[in-house]
């Protein structure tokens, strides 16, 4: 039987910053590099580009936008890229930003319309109907949701799209991936003993890890108040109102059990340090720390509203909770080292299905499908 050769595609990728850090930026970076390495022709439309990783890409610099207003920056970026793409021929145009010239748009965050709906009526009237800024955001978001194809980074985001933009067209869920070689049980095991010794952690203490920069939204207060004897909490990230959370730690009597590490360029060492990774978010489009923790063979705990919750099978590779009152009970259960080991082994197996290569596979399949459909509608 003759094996059908993969078609080489001509792809345009639109993202404001082509860098290896961040959320949406890293998603675009990881997938784009892999598609290029598979032989596809890829053009990049971006304002900021880390040229260290740009070899082989067709570079199209987009003009700098507004530094005064984020909405004006988004609108100008959408307009500039639309103008630049107008006369170009691509099999697929994929954007990771608000815009209206793409075939596919990846939605990385909750909708602006949805966030406005949470305000009380009077505030909503003021913020939505009397604010030029909101009007611009809603205008641009309404246009972006009319993209022929949408990719949601989680089932949670897909539900948000369908709730507030029920007329949206084809929606596919493709979660972010994880570097399963960098984040793996063997690499963290090599560092574990040394790092725990540096941090003065005894063998019988369970280290709980929180990674995030928006403390309130990610529910750090829920975790601080859920700590019990025998637990240590390490907080990695520079969140807002740090003093407020330090005071909360003091009120709970856990000042010697909670360490605020601040920002780190080497988060991997904290997964080595940790026994459990927890993300008790009130709202979360996805939750990369959970997937990274799973990839390192760590049991994980997340709120049921987080996007990453669909990856967790409760009692098998981690736990989910609906109410914060459940969190202390879950942490108490995880004090058992054998339970942590069992869950961690299964967590690693699950994470192996979400490597960046697997994510690139899903994109490649979707691109091929879209390219073929476009050729049917617009034959040469």
Q: What is the pTM of this model?
A: 0.91
Assess whether the region 10-177+356-377 and the region 185-353 belong to the same CATH fold: yes
The pLDDT tens digits for 80-120 are 999 999 989 999 999 999 999 999 999 999 998 888 777 66
Where are the strands (E) in the chain, listed by range?
Answer: 10-14, 17-18, 41-46, 48-49, 58-61, 92-95, 104-107, 149-152, 170-173, 206-211, 231-236, 258-262, 276-279, 300-303, 318-321
Residue 2 has pLDDT above 50, yes or no: no
Q: Write phi, then psi, for 348 (nearest 5 degrees).
A: -65, -40
pLDDT for 1 equals 38
Task: Give the whole-number percent of the chain exceeding pLDDT 90.
Answer: 80
Q: What residues pair up with 250 in beta bridges, in sequence order? A: none
269-to-182, 184, 209, 351 alpha-carbon distances in Å: 11, 11, 11, 18
The DSSP call for residue 42 is E
The pLDDT tens digits for 333-352 are 999 999 999 999 999 999 99
pLDDT tier at 125, thresholds 50, 70, 90: low
Quote the mean pLDDT of the chain: 92
Over range 359-369, report the average pLDDT.
96
Q: Is the CATH number 3.40.50.300 carried by domain 10-177+356-377? A: no
The pLDDT tens digits for 61-76 are 998 766 667 888 899 9
pLDDT for 221 equals 97
For residue 354, how many C-alpha atoms fall within 13 Å in the half-sphere facing its CB? 28
Token pair listed for 321: 């909770």
Q: Where are the chain's structural domains? A: 10-177+356-377, 185-353
Q: How far apart are CA 52 and CA 298, in angstroms?
A: 32
Over range 145-165, report the average pLDDT.
96
Over range 25-46, report the average pLDDT.
96
Q: What is the CATH number of domain 185-353?
A: 3.40.50.2000
Q: How far apart are CA 323 and CA 298, in angstroms?
A: 22
Residue 5 has pLDDT above 70, yes or no: no
Residue 270 has pLDDT above 70, yes or no: yes
The pLDDT tens digits for 210-263 are 999 899 999 999 999 999 999 999 999 998 899 999 999 999 998 999 999 999
| DSSP assignments along 71-101, one per residue | HHHHHHHHHHHHHHHTT---SEEEESSS-SS
């Amino acid at each position: 039987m003759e094996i059908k050769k993969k078609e080489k595609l001509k792809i345009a990728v639109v993202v404001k910053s082509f860098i290896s850090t961040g959320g949406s930026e890293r998603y675009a970076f990881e997938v784009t590099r892999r598609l290029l390495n598979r032989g596809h022709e890829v053009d990049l439309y971006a304002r900021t580009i880390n040229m260290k990783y740009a070899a082989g890409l067709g570079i199209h610099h987009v003009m700098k936008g507004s530094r005064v207003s984020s909405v004006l920056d988004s609108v100008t970026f959408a307009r500039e890229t639309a103008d630049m793409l107008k006369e170009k021929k691509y099999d697929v145009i994929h954007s990771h930003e608000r815009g209206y010239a793409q075939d596919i748009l990846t939605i990385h965050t909750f909708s602006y319309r949805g966030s406005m709906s949470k305000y009380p009526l009077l505030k909503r009237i003021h913020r939505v109907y009397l604010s030029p800024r909101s009007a611009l955001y809603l205008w641009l978001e309404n246009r972006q949701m009319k993209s022929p194809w949408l990719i949601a980074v989680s089932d949670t985001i897909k539900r948000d799209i369908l709730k507030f933009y029920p007329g949206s067209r084809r929606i596919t869920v493709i979660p972010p991936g994880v570097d399963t070689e960098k984040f793996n049980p063997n690499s963290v095991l090599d560092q574990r003993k040394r790092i725990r010794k540096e941090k003065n952690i005894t063998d019988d203490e369970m280290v709980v890890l929180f990674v995030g920069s928006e403390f309130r939204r990610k529910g750090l207060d829920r975790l601080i108040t859920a700590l019990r004897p025998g637990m240590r909490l390490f907080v990695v990230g520079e969140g807002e109102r740090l003093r407020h959370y330090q005071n909360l730690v003091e009120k709970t009597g856990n000042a010697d059990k909670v360490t605020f590490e601040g920002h780190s360029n080497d988060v991997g060492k904290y997964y080595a340090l940790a026994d459990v990774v927890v993300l008790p978010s009130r709202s979360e489009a996805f939750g990369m720390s959970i997937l990274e923790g799973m990839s390192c063979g760590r049991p994980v705990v997340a709120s049921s509203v987080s996007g990453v919750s669909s990856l967790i099978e409760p009692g098998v590779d981690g736990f989910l909770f609906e109410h914060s009152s459940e969190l202390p009970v879950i942490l108490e259960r995880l004090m058992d080292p054998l339970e942590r080991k069992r869950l961690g082994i299964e967590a690693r197996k699950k994470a192996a299905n979400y490597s960046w290569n697997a994510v690139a596979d899903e994109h490649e399949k979707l691109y091929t499908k879209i390219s073929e459909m476009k050729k049917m509608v617009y034959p040469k």
